[in-house]
Structure formats: structure tokens, C-alpha cells
Structure 1
Amino acid sequence: MSSPALDVALAYYKAWSNKNLDEALSYFADDFVSRTPEGRMDAAAYRPFLGGFLEILKKADLVAAFGDENTALMYYDAETLPVPYSPVGEWFRVENGKIVESRIVFDNFTLQGAGAIAKVS
């Protein structure tokens, strides 16, 4: 089922999962803000955050996506160079066809576990 917010969120996902950083960021509103594991970020700060993630990304597999008029929620599995499996959730608020707010959650247990394993390997 399609919705305005979901369509924008899926277009954003498609862009970054294909490692097209500029296209991905084109879906952000000028006043975009995100809450990430690194803290609160505006679009300028989000560019290197997402760019760094894309440098280590091997692939992302969308598991589920839902949306309504103004919000969307996605769940996907990310495979990165340091972590072979990392579940990720993202919530989006969309206004006038642009993402104005996002909240991203990485599975910290998976990430910390990979770091611990790497230290003893």
C-alpha cells in the first residue's frame, strides 16, 4: 500500500541503498533534523554520517515499510564491512514531499558484539 510519506521514504531508501548520497539527501527539507546514535543532526551534519555509512555498506535488504500521509516507518537489514548483520529501524516525518525529521535506531547489541568479537579475533 502506498502513501505520500512512504513514497518519499522509499525513494530515499532506494537512493542511499544504491550508494547515491546526493540523490538521497535531495529528499531532505532545508530544515531537516535527525536523531541518530551519534546525536541530533541537521542536513549538513547528516551528510558525513550517511556518507561514512555508505562507505562500509555492502547491502541493505528492506524487510518492511509502512506509512500514512505524514509519517513512514521502515525496517531493514544492513550488511556492512565490519558487521555482517545489523537490523535497523527508521521513522520519518514528511511534509510537502520532503523529509523534515528522521529517527534512526541501530541494534546496539549487534554493533557492540561485533566490536567485541573483532577485539579478540
Structure 2
Amino acid sequence: MHSTSSIINNKYLLDIYYNGLARKSEWESVIADDFQFIGGDMTNRKPIIGKQAYIDVIGRFSRLFTSMRVKEMFVHDQHAFVLAEYDYVFPNGKSLSGEVAEYWLIKNHALAGLTIYFDTLTFYEWTSSLHIVMRYHEAWTNKAYQEAAAYLADPLIVIAPIQEYPDKTSYIQAVAQKYNLIRKVDLIGSFNHGDECMLLYDMDIQEFGNLRVAEYFKVKNGKIVQICQVHDTMPFRKA
């Protein structure tokens, strides 16, 4: 038989944690020094161990979510289940809400362990390098230049065969001008490894005909920080 006071005390610890997490401050006091966390990478179930290591995890995570709320909480002796909902805003300005199932272990008047479960596919699709690059590509080919610019970091490094672009603004302006000459863009392939991506596509350009372009991207913190374009320059030099 488990005491009611134990359940109340454990719920009190969770209330301190979640109230502090919602404010992004003053939640650390209830975390055990030997805290174990599982779930940052759903493909790797090896725990992250230690209070400071978990503080670092939350430090990174808190940059993504704007608000959170507890939808359900069940406490039984040393165990608790919490269904929480987080509102995310990604560096490119896109936002979504998602539920996270959080299973807690509570020992010696402290939160001793946490295992989380969430929709990894949705989260990956919104944070992966290839998703960001593809959304950028779709934006500029649909003449949504302001949306395209939101996926680009500032400063932005652009390496192109002919022109030089000293900053993000000059590059987006050039993209907008160039599209006036482009009749069609056909994406051939997309490739991704970590924070690096490559797109291969054909552009049908007025007065120049078909041009195949290989475009390399480097993504950091949810935004494109470098673009390198490779294509045949002869048609432009002849013009």
C-alpha cells in the first residue's frame, strides 16, 4: 500500500518542474544529481546521465518551444506519466504543436529519471536539413521570395560561377530578377547527409535554353548558411 503523502509529494515535485519549464527558469532544483534522460534521439536509447547534462539538453530544447502545458498527469508511488503539449517555432518561422509522453522515475525526494516518446517523423521533417532546403527551393521557384529569404541565415555565404553576392539581401534580389527569365524548373534529385544537402535540377531559361544546376547547401541551426552553385557558364558568357 502506497501512502497518499508520497504521491502528493511526488506530484509537488512535478508541479515545480513543469511550472518552471513553462517559464524556462527555476525547474532545475528538483532534478537529481545522477539524473538519467532517454529520448533526445529516438534511435539511440542510451541514457544521458547527470543533472548538468540534462540542463544542457533543456537549454537547447527551450530555444525551440515557445510555450507548453500539461494535459494529463498520473502519479503512482515512484512513477509518473505526463502527457505534455509543446508549441514550437522553428528558425525559419514555421510553427507547430506536438504532444510528448513523458515517463518519470522519482526517488529520494527528487526527479531521478525521464524517458520521453514523441512523433519523431513530424519533428524530423520540420527540423531536418533536407526539409529546410526543399522548402527554400519550393519557395523561390514559386516566386515566394520573402518566404525563401526566411530559410536563409544572415550572414549568408554564396559561391556562384559568375556573380558575387556580398549578403543575403543581394542574393535574394538576384534570385527574384533571375526568375523573370526562367520558364520552368524541374527537380531531378535531392541528396542529404547530416547538415549538408545537394539539389540537382534543370532550368528552362528564356534566350538560353535548358541549364542543369547542381546546388550545394549547408544548414546550421535551422537555416541555410552556405550555398554553392555549379553550372555551365558558357551560355551566359556568349550573351
Query: 91, 108, 111: which is aligned to 2:233?
Result: 108
Match of 1:119 in 2: none
Match of 1:4 in 2: 128
Deviation digits for residues 49-90 of structure 1 (CA, Å, limit 9, x no counterpart): 111111111110001110122110011000111222011111
Aligned 1:61-100 pairs, distance under 5 A:
61-100=186-225
Query: 149, 157, 175: which is aligned to 1:33?
Result: 157
Q: Tell me the TM-score normalised to structure 2 length.
A: 0.44
> Do the aligned residues in 2 keep the contact of 1:4 with 1:68 (CA within 8 Å)?
no
Q: Percent identity?
A: 27
Structure scoring higher RCO (CA < 8 A, sep ≥ 6) equals: 1
CA RMSD, 1 decimal: 1.8
Q: Tell me the TM-score normalised to structure 1 length.
A: 0.83
SS at 2:194 equivalent: coil
Question: Does 1:19 pair with 2:143?
Answer: yes
SS at 1:46 equivalent: helix
Distance 2:166 2:205 in 1: 22
Structure 1 segments of 4+ aligned residues over 4 angstroms from their partners: none
| Higher helix proportion (structure 1 or 2) | 1
Distance 2:216 2:176 in 1: 19
Structure 2: give runs of 5+ residues left out of the alignment.
1-124
Structure 1: give runs of 5+ residues left out of the alignment.
116-121
- Equivalenced residue count is 113
SS at 2:198 equivalent: strand
> Do the aligned residues in 1 keep the contact of 2:185 with 2:202 (CA within 8 Å)?
yes
